[in-house]
Amino acid sequence: MLPGWVLFGSTIGYLGLLFAVAWFGDRKARAPEAIERSRPLVYALSLAIYCTSWTYFGGVGLAAERGWEFLGIYIGPMLMFTLGLPLIRRIIVIAKRERLTSIADFIAARYGKNPVVAMIVALVALAGAVPYIALQLKAVSASVAALVDTSGYAIGLDSHQLIDLPLIVSLSLALFAVIFGTRHADATEHQNGLMVAIATESVVKLIAIGTVGVTVAFFLFDGPADLFAAAGRHAEAAAALAYQTPPGRWITLTALSAFAIVMLPRQFHVTVVENRSHGELKLAAIFFPLYLIAINLFVLPIALGGVILFNGAGDADLYVLTVPLQSGLKAITLIAFIGGFSAATAMVIVASVALAIMISNDIVLPVLLRRNLVGARSDTTEDLGRLVLMVRRGSIFGVMLLGYLYYRAAGASNDLASIGLIAFAAIGQMAPAMLGGLFWRRANARGAIAGITSGFMVWTWLLFIPSLGGTDTSPDAGLILDAILPSSKFFSGHGSDPFINSVLLSLIVNTACFVIGSLSRNAKLIERQQAAVYIPQSENPRLLMRSWRTGLTVGDLKTVTAAISARSGCSAPSPISRPGAANRSIRARWRTPIS
């Protein structure tokens, strides 16, 4: 055990450091030259908010049982920032052009800026974030309990203690998010101080887990070769290395993580809203995959070291802390704790800010405006801005309290990886509507509403409700999918995987309802206009076929007709309505194909 005053003093000191860094970042924002030089690196590091307690603690716990399977949630992000980079670039360009500030705004704007779509997406994002926030609270609380005997401080993990540690952590992080995440009513303004703090936390957690990994591999063992040789001689460690993850689970984890890197509210905020230039994204496309590789480099060695040291016993999620503690390395243990605390706080702070923006813009304010409650109390723009900030600050505390309540109801019953997968499956329900809206012009708001709602209901039934009872998934999903898809057992490996079945069933229902709902009526004018904004003309198959048939455009024909008329001395209407635009039109050429 560590002395309580050391642990709590270090935690308070680290929070004070974050406040100082965020304040410094806000001050530096007043010096444009300094910001421009450091901004690309800060942006690239802020993307590592994807690596939360799930990475820091849960990845080690999963590796101790299933070997290499933990890599599944990182393959998707790597693919998105390499092969999928054009898609991310297009999403950023659209969001900047339309002044969109959240994933709810992005999806709703595609479907004619439909407020119902925005509200549903915001609710789904909130439901998915609640288990994820509970995951962070569970990780921090379990870390403190593993290192300090809190009974002497009237601090405990259960609510019967005088000081409820998870609740204190929740309120502290909510206060930080309010101070540095709700300075401006305009959500398109960049949160410079907050992003600098998040980038700093990315560095801290990388150094911390690297320190623990080097200690395990080179001090507790004589290098990685010796460690893996010892693992081969140990029954539990050898079983973890030999574990064969079914192909279906690899595919599911990769797909869900690819969706999450763009659709998680916090990831959309740092990737899209906080982006300022293509240069930042270009650096991130190189830096972020390398960061993911670096932070996961020692996950398996730490897991194997923990299995060997504890002979397969103990809480594998906490091996990052308990392995150096058991070895008498208290300084390394404290560094490991600060890294885990950093991984948790970064996610919670940005997620609560992003969710607060959606709750205020897409749920609370539309209701107030519809009932004329805003107009009666806010006569000026300044009054309305003040109201927006109040709603967002209240939403941050509300989101944190929901995460705390979920932690109390179910967080202690499930391991960290299971809770994280439940959250990813919820966010995945946005994928058909979002990706379909980027590639299918016929998609409309009715289809988006039907798809997201139906998929979310299946997720609630098969994943969320069972998690409240302490189980990962509902066995009903396996029975249903075995009847619908007889090949599901082959897809899932030896026996049916309830989690994969639940995810597949929810996405199948979601996609089917999305397609049927979109085909049930024609798109409205505003939906067609927004489809033209979201989908480049070259990606419309019908237009591609027309372009293959002929390279002539309406603009070409009008230009040629005007030239022929001028040579023959006949008067003809100008093909260009604005004076002086003829030459520009000939150079640029109109891109409207002949219909």
| DSSP code string of 276-345 | --HHHHHHHHHHHHHHHHHHTTTHHHHHHHHHHHHTT-S-GGGHHHHHHHHTT-HHHHHHHHHHHHHHHH
Can you list the alpha helix ranges (DSSP code H) found in 29-164? Answer: 32-46, 53, 59-66, 72-80, 85-98, 103-110, 115-147
Q: Which helix (H) or strand (E) element contains residue 155? A: strand 155-156
Would you say 151 and 326 are in contact if contact means Cβ atoms under 8 Å apart? Answer: no
The rounded Cα 186 to chain-centroid distance in angstroms is 22
Strand partners, 304: none
Q: Give the chain's largest Cα–Cα span.
A: 101
* HSE value, Cβ hemisphere, 13 Å, CA-based, for 249: 20
Domains of the chain in sequence order: 4-528 (1.20.1730.10), 543-588 (no CATH)
* HSE value, Cβ hemisphere, 13 Å, CA-based, for 17: 14
In terms of C-beta density within 10 A (0-12 exposed, 13-18 middle, 19 or more buried), how is residue 366 classed? Answer: middle
Instruction: List the pLDDT tens digit at each of the 595 positions of the chain.
Output: 777 778 888 888 888 888 888 888 777 666 556 556 778 889 999 999 999 888 889 899 999 999 999 999 999 999 999 999 999 999 999 999 988 989 999 999 999 989 999 999 999 999 998 888 888 888 888 888 888 876 666 565 555 555 677 787 788 778 877 876 666 555 555 677 788 889 999 999 999 999 999 999 999 999 999 999 999 999 999 999 999 888 888 999 999 999 999 999 999 999 998 888 888 999 999 999 999 999 999 999 999 999 999 988 888 889 999 999 988 899 999 999 999 988 888 888 888 888 888 888 888 888 877 766 655 455 556 667 778 888 888 888 888 888 888 888 875 556 778 888 888 999 999 999 999 999 999 999 999 999 999 999 999 988 888 887 656 555 555 566 666 655 455 555 555 677 888 888 899 999 999 999 999 999 888 999 899 999 987 655 554 444 334 444 555 456 556 666 665 555 444 444 444 444 443 333 333 333 3
Contacts of 503 (CB under 8 A, 6+ apart): 252, 256, 425, 428
Strand partners, 553: 593
Q: Rounded to whole angstroms, how far apart are CA atoms 467 and 420?
A: 11
DSSP state of 522: P
Q: Rounded to whole angstroms, how far apart are CA atoms 488 and 496?
A: 7
